Chains A and B, each alone.
Chain A
Amino acid sequence: MNNLQPVSQRQSVASIVGVSKVYTLGGHQVKALNNVSVEFQQGDFVAIMGSSGSGKSTLLNVLGCLDRPTTGHYFLAGQDVAAMDDETLSRVRGRYLGFIFQSYNLIQQLSVVENIEVPLSYQRPPLPGGRERCLKLAELVGLSGRLGHRPTELSGGQQQRVAIARALVNNPHVILADEPTGNLDTATSHDIMNLLDALNRAGRTIVMVTHENDIAERARRIIRLRDGRIESVSETRPLLPVGIGSSASGVAGATTE
C-alpha cells in the first residue's frame, strides 16, 4: 500500500464542486449536469463514460472552460474559473488545458509543425523556446519526418498524433480528450492509447470521454454518468506514486518541464 497515497494528500489539479448545467430546450429545462462533484489529481487518467445524453460532453465542455456551469464551482490551477469572463477563460484554456478531439481538428492550411505551434501564438506572455518545443514534440509523437506536411497528407492516426503534440505544446495542467480514438481503426487506436498511457505515466493528467469499454479500461479511473449524475466511479489501476512522473525518462522527459 505504500505506493498508494491517500487521495487527499495528492495535489488536485482540477476539481468541480456541485456543478449543475441547465439548458432551455424548446421551453423545457434540461439538466445536463446535476450537482456533479469530481476531483482530478495530478497524474490522474480518467475516462468519462455514459450513454448519449448522459452529460459527458457537457462535463467535458465545462472542464475545457468552453462552457460555464449554471451553478457550482470549478477550480483549475487554484482559481475558480466558473465565473470568469470570456477573455480570461480563453487565456485559461490556452495556458492550462490541452485538447484532443475525435476528428483531430487540425487547421488545414497549416503544416504539421505550424499546427503544433498554434496554442503558442495565444500565450500571454509568450512561452520561451517555441519552435524547438514543437520539433521535440513532433519527434515524441513520431512525426519528425513529416513536419512540412499538410493534415490532408497524413493518415488519421498521424493527424491525431499531431493533435496530441499540439495538446502538449503549452505544457498544460490537464489534457482533455474527446473520443480520441473514435475515428480510428483498432490498431491505430491501440497506438494512440499507448501514447496517452505513456504521457500519463510521465505525469500528465488526462481526462478522456469515450464510449468504448476497452478504451476506457486503459484509464486509471472510470466515471460513469447517467442523466447528469455520477452513477459510479471505478478504479482500474492505482495512481502512480507522486514524483514518478518527474523521474521517468524517455517520453516523459520530453513532455514534462
Chain B
Amino acid sequence: MNLFQQLRLGFRSLMLHKLRSALAVLGILIGVTAVIWLVAMGEGVSYQAQQQIKDLGATSIIVRSIKPAEESSRDVGSRFGISYGLLRDDYERIISNVPTVTRAVPMREISREVRHREHFIDGQVIGCTPDYFGMNRLKIARGRPISQVDMQGYSNVVVLAWEAAAKLFPIEDPLGRAVQLGTEFYVVVGIAAERTAAAAIGGSLDARQYDRDVYIPLSTFRARIGDRVFTVRAGATQLETVELTQITAVVEDMAEVDATADIIRALLERYHKNVDYAVVVPKELLEQAETMRAMFNVLLLLIAGISLLVGGIGIMNIMLATVTERTREIGIRRALGATKGEIVQQFLWETVVLSGTGGLLGVLVGFLCGPTVNGIRQLVSTFLPEVWTALPPNIRNLEPRLAPWSIIAAFGISVGVGIIFGIYPARRAANMDPIEALRHE
C-alpha cells in the first residue's frame, strides 16, 4: 500500500468511531495550540522588552546617581544634608578622558508639582540639553525642543510630555502659555510625542515612564532650582545635594561598549568614595533579556509539552481500545498475509492520522492567536474599562508574535507524540496470536 492508501485506510478506520477520534484529536489540538500561543505570547513580551532596551540605545552607557545607604552617607551629610551622585566634573572627566565616547548627555531630574491654573500634576522635571531628545528618541509633536539658545540664555522654557500637556491643558492650546514650577513660570515651547515606556534602569524595577515628564534647559534647572533638594520624610526634612541625575555616554560602535563602560567605572571609582552611582549598559540588559527569553521559552515549552503528553496519553488510550475492538480484523489481516510489521505500520499510520489531524488543526487555531488576543482586548476595554486601565501598559500593548519555529516544532512534536504513543498499541496488535484473534468475538 502506498502512503495515500495507508492514510486513507487510517482515516476510514478512525471514522468508525467519530466522537472518540474527535476527542483524541481535540487533545492534540489543544496541546499544539498551547505551544504556539504560549510561544507567541512569550515572543511578544520579550520583543517588547527588547524594543524598550534598544530604545535606551545599544551603543550607550548610562550612569545614574544612586542614593547610598543611610549609614555610609552620614559622614558626608553634615548640617547641609547629604550630598551624593554624579558631579558636573564627572561629566567633564568622561567627555575629556574617555576617547571612545563620542557624545555624553547630562541630565538632572526631580519630582515637582507642575501647575497651570487649577490643573496640576506630579511631574518629573527634567533638566536636559538639546541632545537629550535625540538620544531618547523623543519626538516633538508640536513646537520645538529645548535649544542651545535656551541653554545659553537660562531661558524659562519648557517642553511638556504628551500626557502632561493633556492634563495641564485640557482645553487650551498649551503652546505659548505658562506653567508654574515651584515659584517660577515657564513658557511652553513644545510638546513631545507619545512614547511607550522604556526598560527599567538604575536598579529601579519600574519601567521608565515618559508621560509625566516636563523638560527644561539644564542651565535653567541649575540656576532656578539648584542642586539642593528638600524632601520631607516621616516628619523630618532632609536636604539632598545632587548635581546630575544621569549621564548618558554614547560610543561609535557596539564593540566598544564593554571596554568603555569599564573605563567609566574605573574613572568614577577614583573620584567617588561611596558607590553613589550605577553604570548601566543597555547592551548587557539586552543580553540578559535574551537569556530571560530563552528561559521563558523553555518554561513555556515545558508547559506545552505536558499538554501534548496528556494528548498523547489520550491517543494511546483510544488506540488501545481500538486494537481490542479490532482484534478480529487483525486476525483476518494476519491470516491473509499481513506480517507483524505490516500490522504495526497500519496502526501507527492510524495514530499518525489522529495526531497529525490534531496537529494541523492546532496550527490553524494557532494562527488565530493574534485576532483572539485583539478580540479579548476589545472586549475588556469595552466592557471593563476600569480593569483595562488598571492593567500595566506592558500587558495592554502586548502583541503576540507567531514564531515560525514553534509552528513547525508543535506540528512535528504532535506527530512524534502520535508515533511514540502509537507504538505500544500497534505492537500489541501485531503480537496477537492470529488464531486467537480470529476466534475473538
Q: Residues of A at under 8 Å CB distance from B?
A: 61, 64, 66-67, 86-87, 90-91, 93-95, 99, 101, 105-110, 118-119, 121-123, 166, 170
> A61-B435, A66-B435 are contacts. A166–B336 as well, Cβ < 8 Å?
yes
Q: Is the CB of B337 within 8 A of A107?
A: no
Decide yes or no whether B342 CB sits under 8 A from chain A: yes
Choose one: B1, B13, B333; the contact of A109 (CB below 8 Å).
B13
> A105-B328, A105-B438 are contacts. A99–B335 as well, Cβ < 8 Å?
yes
Decide yes or no whether B227 CB sits under 8 A from chain A: no
- How many angstroms from the CA of A87 to the CA of B431 in the assembled complex? 12
- How many angstroms from the CA of A107 to the CA of B437 in the assembled complex? 13
Q: Is the CB of A109 within 8 A of B438?
A: no
Report A169 CB to chain B, min CB distance, Å: 9
Residue interface bits B338-352, CB-to-A below 8 A is 1, else 0: 111110000000000
Q: Is the CB of A90 within 8 A of B16?
A: no
Report B233 CB to chain A, min CB distance, Å: 81
Query: CB-nearest residue of chain A relative to B441?
Result: A103
Choose one: B12, B13, B333; the contact of A118 (CB below 8 Å).
B333
- How many angstroms from the CA of A67 to the CA of B342 in the assembled complex? 19
Choose one: A67, A108, A110, A123; the contact of B337 (CB below 8 Å).
A123
Q: How large is the interface on B (under 10, 10 to 19, 20 to 34, 35 or more residues)?
A: 20 to 34
> A61-B435, A67-B435, A101-B438 are contacts. A93–B13 as well, Cβ < 8 Å?
no
**B341: A residues at CB distance < 8 A:** 87
Query: CB-nearest residue of chain A relative to B328?
Result: A105
Q: Is the CB of B340 within 8 A of A87?
A: yes
Q: Is the CB of A119 within 8 A of B12?
A: no
Q: Is the CB of B435 within 8 A of A93?
A: no
Query: CB-nearest residue of chain A relative to B342?
Result: A122
- How many angstroms from the CA of A99 to the CA of B334 in the assembled complex? 11
**A94: B residues at CB distance < 8 A:** 336-338
Jot down 28 A-B pairs with beta carbons below 8 A, ordered by A: A64-B335, A66-B434, A66-B438, A67-B435, A86-B339, A87-B339, A87-B341, A90-B334, A90-B337, A91-B339, A93-B336, A93-B337, A94-B336, A105-B328, A105-B331, A105-B335, A107-B329, A107-B332, A109-B12, A109-B13, A109-B16, A118-B332, A121-B5, A122-B333, A122-B338, A122-B339, A122-B342, A166-B336
Decide yes or no whether B15 CB sits under 8 A from chain A: yes
Q: Is the CB of B336 within 8 A of A122?
A: yes
**A118: B residues at CB distance < 8 A:** 332-333, 336
**A119: B residues at CB distance < 8 A:** 336-337
Residue interface bits B417-441, CB-to-A below 8 A is 1, else 0: 0000000000000000011001000
Question: Which secondary structure dominates where chain B touches chain A?
Answer: helix
- How many angstroms from the CA of A95 to the CA of B333 in the assembled complex? 13
Q: Is the CB of B335 within 8 A of A66?
A: yes
Report A140 CB to chain B, min CB distance, Å: 19
Which of B15, B335, B337 has the most chain A CB atoms inside 10 A of its CB?
A: B337
- How many angstroms from the CA of A86 to the CA of B434 in the assembled complex? 11
- How many angstroms from the CA of A80 to the CA of B341 in the assembled complex? 23
**B339: A residues at CB distance < 8 A:** 86-87, 90-91, 122
**B336: A residues at CB distance < 8 A:** 93-94, 99, 118-119, 122, 166
**B12: A residues at CB distance < 8 A:** 109-110
Choose one: A61, A86, A106; the contact of B340 (CB below 8 Å).
A86
Report B310 CB to chain A, min CB distance, Å: 28
Query: CB-nearest residue of chain A relative to B341?
Result: A87
- How many angstroms from the CA of A95 to the CA of B339 in the assembled complex? 12
The 3 lowest CB-CB distance pairs between A and B, nearest first, are: A94-B337, A122-B337, A90-B339
**B328: A residues at CB distance < 8 A:** 105
**A170: B residues at CB distance < 8 A:** 337
Report A212 CB to chain B, min CB distance, Å: 20
Report A104 CB to chain B, min CB distance, Å: 10
- How many angstroms from the CA of A87 to the CA of B5 in the assembled complex? 22
Sample of 12 more A-B contacts, CB < 8 Å, known A94-B336, A105-B328: A61-B435, A90-B334, A90-B337, A99-B335, A105-B331, A105-B335, A105-B438, A106-B332, A121-B5, A122-B339, A123-B337, A170-B337
Report A105 CB to chain B, min CB distance, Å: 5
Report B415 CB to chain A, min CB distance, Å: 23
Report A11 CB to chain B, min CB distance, Å: 23
**A91: B residues at CB distance < 8 A:** 337, 339
- How many angstroms from the CA of A105 to the CA of B334 in the assembled complex? 12
Report A89 CB to chain B, min CB distance, Å: 9
Q: Is the CB of B340 within 8 A of A90?
A: yes
Query: CB-nearest residue of chain B relative to A110?
Result: B12
Which of B1, B334, B336 has the most chain A CB atoms inside 10 A of its CB?
A: B336
**B5: A residues at CB distance < 8 A:** 121
Query: CB-nearest residue of chain B relative to A121?
Result: B1
**A109: B residues at CB distance < 8 A:** 12-13, 15-16
Report A106 CB to chain B, min CB distance, Å: 8
- How many angstroms from the CA of A90 to the CA of B344 in the assembled complex? 14
> A67-B435, A122-B342 are contacts. A105–B332 as well, Cβ < 8 Å?
yes
- How many angstroms from the CA of A81 to the CA of B426 in the assembled complex? 27
Which of B1, B5, B339, B342 has the most chain A CB atoms inside 10 A of its CB?
A: B339
Report B291 CB to chain A, min CB distance, Å: 53
Query: CB-nearest residue of chain A relative to B346?
Result: A121
- How many angstroms from the CA of A230 to the CA of B13 in the assembled complex? 43
Q: Is the CB of B337 within 8 A of A95?
A: yes
Within 8 A of A (CB), among B59-108: none
- How many angstroms from the CA of A106 to the CA of B332 in the assembled complex? 8
**B435: A residues at CB distance < 8 A:** 61, 66-67
> A66-B435, A108-B16, A121-B1 are contacts. A90–B338 as well, Cβ < 8 Å?
yes
